[in-house]
Amino acid sequence: MVERILAANSRAPRESEAPTVDWLPVTVSPDPSDPKLAHLDGLNLSRAWMLEGIIFALPADDPRRLHLSTAAEAHRRAGLAAVTGEHYEGGHWLGSFAVYLTTQRGIQRGTPRAP
């Protein structure tokens, strides 16, 4: 989405502004049967999907890709682990977020942009 909003020549954060390892922690739903707290599982899936889109939009040699990939993978694992169907509160809609993530819906496939 960021790629769609910002012009290709917009200033991206510099390498010195790259996030630390724990800059975007995975969310944990303390009670997945709670209709409100179940949204935290969806947040992990959504974050992973959006991070993957940002990674694709960055040049292949951009050093921020490592940090973003690490965060995306952590959110992917946590989010997909919650897609169990055990609780209706999340089970009836988390699958659609998981499909977007795993199919890279809306993300251009192929090699990352050249620098």
Residue 9 confidence (pLDDT): 47
With both helix axes pointing from N to C terminus, report the angle between 39-57 and 94-103 in degrees, rounded to the nearest 10: 20
pTM of the entire predicted model: 0.74
In tens, the pLDDT along 19-46 reads 665 788 999 889 988 888 889 999 999 9
Instruction: Give the three-state DSSP class for 113.
Output: strand
Q: Positive or negative CA dihedral for 45, 4, 114, 25?
A: negative
Question: What does the domain layout of the chain look like in residue ranges?
Answer: 64-107
Cα–Cα distance, 41 to 7 (Å, whole number): 31
In tens, the pLDDT along 43-79 reads 999 999 999 999 999 999 999 999 999 999 999 999 9
